[in-house]
Amino acid sequence: MAENPDPHDLFSLPGFTRPAPHGGFPAYELFPEVAYEIVHDELLLDGVARMNLATFCTTWIDEPARRLMAESLDKNIVDKDEYPQTAELEHRCVRMLADLWHAPDPATTLGTSTTGSSEAAMLGGLAAKFRWRARGGTGTPNLVSGPVQVCWEKFARYFDVELRQVPLRGDRYTLHPDDLAAYCDANTIAVVPTFGQTFTGLFEDVAAISAALDRLHASGGPDIPIHVDAASGGFLGPFTAPDLVWDFRLPRVKSINASGHKTGLAPLGVGWVVWREAADLPRELVFDVDYLGGHMPTFNLNFSRPGGQVITQYYDFIRLGRAGYTRVQSAIYLVARHFAEGLRALGPFELIHAGEPERGITAVAWRLVDGADYNLYDLSDRLRVRGWLIAAYPLPADRQDETIMRAVFRHGFTVDMVQLLLADIRRGLRQLTDNPRRTPLTRAEAGGFTHDARPEVPEQGPPPRA
């Protein structure tokens, strides 16, 4: 072809002479290399995942895990009859998690993999709703929690449950057990403590919450089960704070969700929910589907899902075991604490969570001390210029007037990267001090890459019981 004398020069191939289709369904074909390069180049504008400290999710996996993901690209986890070994690995993971979280009989309890903690939370919530109904519950079911991740707001909206989020009073950052009695009643399907809060990374005190519910029941009140949202904490506490009692060691805890693709170290796309005992998962929620000659029980919102994430999760479990997970998670806490110390030394910050394994997840959360003529959105914006993605956002009700910042440290982030980040924070602070903006940035102007998308409708404040 005259216009393309060098067939190896990709960028002169037909297809690069006009922009890629954006709107209507494309009429013509492109060479695969051309289409690939267009998509690849478009993605250059995305942030660098490993510099994204706003995410909780896995951004580094080792080479064998990548190989397993590639090898299982074509396996649908729902086809349990066709891929019985994938189904077996999923079962083994459920049993291992039941053991890790101290279920009374890990061999017989039930659980499932999901697409992430959101689906797992919905399944845990649905089981609680069905159990409440089986106990004779009528009226509008409600769920009581502290400030929760948006998945619980979705659950409440999608499944007609009233969400009663206990506001943060005074200087509190987590759900306080003393507040519970005023929010619980006979229609409370469950209390949901978060073991590793999204906003601050702090653990809510599941044992104290359980004890408060024991007292409520003993004084003639309802007997309310607990579902623990351990999206991030479920793969940390057992290894790095084993004496912290938050799991099935508490008889009131009936189900737990966790994200395999967060601290579970699996690639994106897997979560887990496990019930204390088989009887805690109502039978009517489990579908037995006849499919391609097989007989398959499923309890999921999706039907087809990729199998690779579950397969790779099993690889992580057997590759690392308790010893390996303890080593990896301890190293990440070390990195988080190193960052917290550096941040403290920089000056104008008050640390809310400094990455202590007994207090919260592998994250650091901080606020700006009063008196600065810039805000945390300004700092977030400055850091973004250098490629760091670190979320700044307001605290939830009733502390919405306070802005905080949170950095989540994950496997693959090193002490050396902390040094680079601290140097950029120092540089950013100097720029902000030397060139004060007339109007500090707003949250919207700073861009949104947080996990706490609020619903568009006004929130209904829970009416405290008289």
Ligand X SMILES: Cc1ncc(COP(=O)(O)O)c(C=O)c1O
Side chain identity at 370, as an amino acid letter?
A: D
Tell me the residue number closest to ligand X, measured at CB.
116
Dig out the tokens for 5 from the structure: 């004398």
Q: For residue 34, count other CB atoms closer than 10 A to its CB.
A: 17
Nearer Cβ to ligand X (59/198): 198
How far is it, in rounded angstroms, from Cα 354 to Cα 450?
A: 19
How far is it, in rounded angstroms, from Cα 187 to Cα 162?
A: 10
Nearer Cβ to ligand X (109/259): 259
Nearer Cβ to ligand X (232/375): 232
**Residue 260 beta carbon to ligand X: minimum distance, rounded to whole angstroms:** 8
Nearer Cβ to ligand X (258/425): 258
**Residue 72 beta carbon to ligand X: minimum distance, rounded to whole angstroms:** 20
**Residue 331 beta carbon to ligand X: minimum distance, rounded to whole angstroms:** 21
Provide the binding-site residues for ligand X, judged by CB under 6 A.
56, 116-118, 121, 149, 151, 194, 196, 198, 229, 231-232, 259, 271, 451
**Residue 116 beta carbon to ligand X: minimum distance, rounded to whole angstroms:** 3
How buried is residue 342: exposed, middle or buried, by Cβ count under 10 Å (0-12/13-18/19+)?
Answer: middle
Q: Which residues contact 244 (CB under 8 A, 6 or more apart)?
A: 203, 237, 358
**Residue 101 beta carbon to ligand X: minimum distance, rounded to whole angstroms:** 16
DSSP 441: P
Nearer Cβ to ligand X (121/432): 121
Element (H, E) at 66: helix 63-71
Alpha carbon distances (Å) from 42 to 20, 39, 272, 449: 10, 5, 33, 19
**Residue 69 beta carbon to ligand X: minimum distance, rounded to whole angstroms:** 17
Nearer Cβ to ligand X (267/271): 271
Nearer Cβ to ligand X (356/452): 452
Using only C-alpha atoms, the chain has a radius of gyration, in whole angstroms, of: 24
Q: 90-109 burial by CB neighbour count: b if 16+ within 10 A, else e?
A: beebbbbbbebbbbeebeeb
**Residue 455 beta carbon to ligand X: minimum distance, rounded to whole angstroms:** 15
Nearer Cβ to ligand X (177/269): 269
Nearer Cβ to ligand X (86/197): 197
Residue found under tokens 């490629």: 387
**Residue 313 beta carbon to ligand X: minimum distance, rounded to whole angstroms:** 13
> Is 39 strand, coil or helix?
helix
**Residue 31 beta carbon to ligand X: minimum distance, rounded to whole angstroms:** 36
**Residue 232 beta carbon to ligand X: minimum distance, rounded to whole angstroms:** 6
How far is it, in rounded angstroms, from Cα 356 to Cα 220?
A: 38
Q: 283-310 burial by CB neighbour count: b if 16+ within 10 A, else e?
A: eeeeeeeeeeeeeeebbbeeeebbbbbb
**DSSP state letters, 343-370:** HHHHSSEEEEEE--TTTBSSEEEEEEPT
How far is it, in rounded angstroms, from Cα 358 to Cα 198?
A: 16
Query: Which phi and psi angles does 182 have, rounded to 5°?
Result: -70, -20
Nearer Cβ to ligand X (118/309): 118
